[in-house]
Amino acid sequence: MTKPIIGITSNFTRKDEIGTIAHLGAPLQQWQLLADDYIRAIELAGGVPMILPIVEDFENLIQVLQVLDGLIITGGNDVNPLLYNKAPESTLGEICIKRDNVELGILNKALNDFNMPIMGICRGCQLLNVLKGGTLHQDLVAANVTKREHFLANYQIDYATQTAKIEHESKLYEIFKSNEIGINSFHHQGVDKLGDGLIITASAEDGVVEAIEQPGDRFVMGLQWHPEMLNGKANNFSKLFEAFVEACLKARS
């Protein structure tokens, strides 16, 4: 059986230090890059990862979407608040308008013109919510959503620092067969107003939204944490990626 092809979006940066410090490039070069965790998670789950570049015009990726069996929108920069009609606040982190435009374009196409399963991770979860008409907290602590820090960069990426409570009627529960799971946390933004047609399927102990889904048979899920980093032997997040790859196979047939 041919393995499903999973498109994974990349980051885009104009910071040339990525190339100069690592001796991979020259000053003034712009870079597209992706953490290896995403690639390994899909490959170990039985899929074929394909990195999607941030192009000048998202229409140039439509032909690529036609050969994909699934799509992952990855983590990275903050989402531009002007996209959900909010003024930028002082706590807003770095944004990438070029990436926002491309990912919103291909995500919209994938959702509405193709039947492929979709997974949004961290920023990808937020972007899914924005595309569906939702809004974001530009900083969870500054917005008084929580007093707990959710960007826990002092911890190892594969260390569960928080607990997410899972709603019983959800794909997430079907996958893990548990009311709660341990998660990592590397974000300072989060879902505010929920997007149309989405439901909240997991929340942190302080009420911060950790997962959203589109109800129905189709696999459309946004995860605020980074399951690809928790995909080692000490964790059971392989179940999540295996379920995603399996859904991609079913959608193809």
Residues marked active site are found at: 122, 226, 228
Number of CB atoms found within 10 A of residue 38's CB = 25
Q: List the one residue out of 122, 114, 123, 118 whose CA is nearest residue 64.
A: 114
Rounded to an integer, what distance in angstroms lies between the CA atom of residue 182 and that of residue 114? 33
Number of CB atoms found within 10 A of residue 246's CB = 16
- DSSP labels for the chain? -PPPEEEEE-EEE--THHHHHTTSS-TT--EEE--HHHHHHHHHTT-EEEEEP--S-GGGGHHHHTT-SEEEE---SBPPGGGGT----TT---B-HHHHHHHHHHHHHHHHH----EEEETHHHHHHHHHTT--EES-TTTTTS-SS--B-TTS-TTS--EEEEEPSSSHHHHHH-SSEEEE--B-S-EE-SPPTT-EEEEEETTS-EEEEE--SSS-EEEESS-GGGG-STTS-THHHHHHHHHHHHHHH-
